[in-house]
Structure 1
Amino acid sequence: MALVLPGSSTVVRSVGDVVHWSLSTVAFAVTLPTRLEALLFSVERLVARINQIADNADRVVIGAAAVTVRAETLVEAVEQTSDIAGQLLEIYEPIALQLAPLAARFADDLSEAEVSAAIKLIDQLPELTDRVAAVLPILGTLDSVSPEIHELLGVVKDLRQAIVGVPGFHFFRKRGEAKLD
């Protein structure tokens, strides 16, 4: 007969629970390396993805910095252009306001034929300039030639009077006119 002590069943049950718990713990401990390996693999994949995201973010930041520099350059150029345009408006606005009625009248009165003629004239300006430049020196000497022309006219007048005074000149003149006809 076995002797059973009071409360021993509780102890046995408790020892059974401890053994069961120990076995569960051992089973968990046995699978722990595999689970840790899977967890480590997942963490490595997560770290690689985070690095990829960080690299992409770096490229985005670098691209944004380049765009910012270009935008600043563009803004400076626009500001300069705006300043120049403002200065030009200050200078030319009064002139434009003054000339607007005249320009409108000019545009209203201008025909297509006149525009075509103006274009042809502009096309011929180089040749016209060359010819005028060639004639200008001659025109500059006309003031010194003028007295000589007057003298020459006087001589021709005297010669004409002398010829008209020659007896029979009238006859020769009529005969010459008849031959020319």
Structure 2
Amino acid sequence: MALVLPGRSSLVHSVSDVVHWSLSTVVFALTLPARLEALLVSVERLVARISQIAENADRVVVGAASVTVRAETLIEAVEQTSDIAQQLLELYEPIAVQLAPLAARFADDLSESEVTAAITLIDKLPELTERVTAVLPILATLDSVSPEVHELLGVVKDLKQAIVGVPGFHFFRKRGENRPG
């Protein structure tokens, strides 16, 4: 088979194109390691940045988990407090509704001097309690003393009548009335 060469100018042009293409390929091949190294540095920076973002994301996730645990604990405490408050409301609401008019009347009628007097009385309650406690045994015996006192009064009346009946007693009585002091 014979090689048929087209026109010379087209052959030169084709060879020139091949040489140009070959030179371009060689230049590209020579600059390829530098480009690949720059690309590798960019990729390493990108990987480092992605690693840093992943670490920050891990910290955020750990922090969020901690906040979630604390929030759950707080929610449980609030629920318990709410349950207790609800129980107290159920227990004391009827009493509060019943006492509200009386408390309003009490507040309307209470003066500052009465409040001061009540505070003073409360301050003296320990001493008052001691004294009343000391007197109570004596008061408990008064019911047994009462008949004896009545009997004693009867004896004194009889004695007075007997003395008034003594001759000359009237004279001594007047003399005692005339004496000073």
TM-score using structure 1 length: 0.78
Which residue identity does 1:7 align to in structure 2? G
Cα-Cα RMSD: 2.6
Count how many residue pairs are aligned between Structure 1 and Structure 2: 174
Deviations 1:11-60 (A, max 9, x none): 33223222222222221222222222222222222112112211221222
Counterpart-to-counterpart distance in 2, 1:125 and 1:149: 33
User: Could you list the runs of 5+ residues in structure 1 that have no partner in the other structure?
Assistant: none
Q: Residue 95 of structure 2: SS of its match in structure 1?
A: helix
Can you list the C-alpha shifts for 1:71-124, whole angstroms capped at 9, x where unaligned? Answer: 222222222222222222222222222222111111111111111111222222
CA 1:84 to 1:6, structure 2 compared with 1: closer, same or farther past 3 Å? closer
Q: Give the aligned partner of residue 85 of structure 2.
A: 85
Report the residue type matching 1:76 in the other structure.
E
**Percent of aligned positions with the same letter in both sequences?**
79
Q: What 5-or-longer segments of structure 2 have no aligned partner?
A: none
Equivalent-residue separation in structure 1 for 2:175 and 2:160 (angstroms)? 14
What is the CA–CA distance in structure 1 between the aligned matches of 2:42 and 2:24, rounded to whole Å? Answer: 25
* 3-state SS, counterpart of residue 63 of structure 2: helix
Determine the structure 1 residue equivalent to 2:53. Answer: 53
Match of 1:115 in 2: 115
SS in 2 for 1:179: coil
Q: Distance in 2 between matches of 1:41 and 1:134?
A: 100
Which residue in 1 is equivalent to 2:66? Answer: 66
Secondary structure class of the residue paired with 2:180: helix
Partner of 2:76: 76
